[in-house]
Amino acid sequence: MTKGKVYLIGAGPGDVKLITLKAVEAIQNADVVVYDRLANPRLLSFAKEDAEFIYVGKKSNQHTLTQDKINQLLVDKANQGKNVARLKGGDPFVFGRGGEEAEELLEDGIEFEIVPGITSAIAVPAYAGIPVTHRTATSSFKIITGHEDPEKDESQIDWDILGKDESTLIFLMGVSNLGNITGKLIEKGKSPDTPIALIQWGTRPEQRTVTGTLSTIVKIVKEEGITSPAIIIVGEVVNLREKLNWFEKKPFFGKRILVTRAREQASELSKKIESLGGEAFEFPAIKIAEVEDKTELDDSINNASSYNWLIFTSVNGVKYFFKRMKELNKDIRTLGDVKICAIGPVTKKSLEDKGLIVDYMPEKFVAEKVIEGLSPLLNHGDKILLPRADLARPVLVESMIQMGMNVNEVITYRTLPENRDQEELLEKLEEKMIHLITFTSSSTVTNFLKIFDNIDTRNRLLKGVKIACIGPVTAATAADNGLVPDMTADDYTIEGLIEVIKNNL
Among 244, 251, 259, 245, residue whose Cα is nearest residue 278: 251
Catalytic residue from among 3, 22, 58, 330 = 58
Q: Are 92 and 10 in contact (CB under 8 A)?
A: yes
Note the helical H segments in 41-119.
67-79, 98-107
355-377 residues labelled b (16+ CB within 10 A) or e (exposed): ebebebbbebbbbeebbeebeee
Amino acid (1-letter code) at residue 4:
G
Cβ atoms of residues 7 and 88 within 8 Å: no
DSSP one-letter string for 250-301: STTTT-EEEE-S-GGGHHHHHHHHHHTT-EEEE--SEEEEE-S--HHHHHHH
Q: Is 58 marked active-site?
A: yes
How many whole angstroms separate alpha carbon 115 and alpha carbon 28? Answer: 14
How open is the CA angle 417-421-422, to the nearest 5 degrees? 70
* Count of Cβ atoms closer than 10 Å to residue 454 Cβ: 8
Asked if 399 and 289 count as a contact pair (C-beta separation under 8 A), the reply is no
In the annotation, is 299 catalytic? no
Which residue type is seen at 171? F
Kindly give, in sequence order, each residue whose CB lies less than 8 Å from that of residue 431, ignoring residues fewer than 6 positions away.
none
Tell me which residue of 123, 143, 95 sits closest to 207, measured CA to CA. Answer: 123
Catalytic residue chosen out of the listed positions 15, 31, 36, 491? 36
Active site residue: 31, 77, 173, 382, which one?
A: 173
108 assigned to active site? no
Residue 496's region, left for phi above 0, alpha for psi from -120 to 50, else beta, is alpha
For the beta sheet containing 466-469, the strands, ordered from the edge strand earlier in sequence to the opposite edge, are 279-282, 256-259, 436-439, 466-469, 487-488
The catalytic residue positions are 36, 58, 173
